[in-house]
Amino acid sequence: NDRLVVASNVRNVGNDTLFLRNKVWIAESAGDVDPEKDKSKIKTVERFSKEYFALVAANNKQQNALLAQQRQGEQLLCNLRGQYYLIK
């Protein structure tokens, strides 16, 4: 008996896996930081801001695929080139 199981708290983007934790999508690369406890390590960027597009310009194709999966109203925590980012 084959069943389709849909996990609404996990997304796969290329080689990256995202996990939904407390309303924040967390990339596997950022799984070692806590958005609440480690705020000093995380740079917050508003989605579609000037800073966001500068980040996109510096990214490779895989990193931008990760950002592109973010939907309106969602937050994304990821690690890009050694820096943690919270995209709001």
- Where in 1-82 does DSSP place strands (E)? 10-13, 16-21, 24-27, 42-45, 75-80
Q: Give the residues across from 43 on adjacent strands.
A: 85
pLDDT confidence of residue 8: 81
Contacts of 69 (CB under 8 A, 6+ apart): 11, 13, 18
CA separation, residue 20 to residues 8, 31, 73 (Å): 8, 11, 13
Cα Rg of the chain (Å, integer): 14
Span 2-58, pLDDT tens digits: 555 556 888 888 888 999 988 899 999 999 999 889 999 999 999 999 999 999 999
Q: pLDDT at position 10, please?
A: 87
For range 61-73, the mean pLDDT: 93
Residue 2 pLDDT = 59
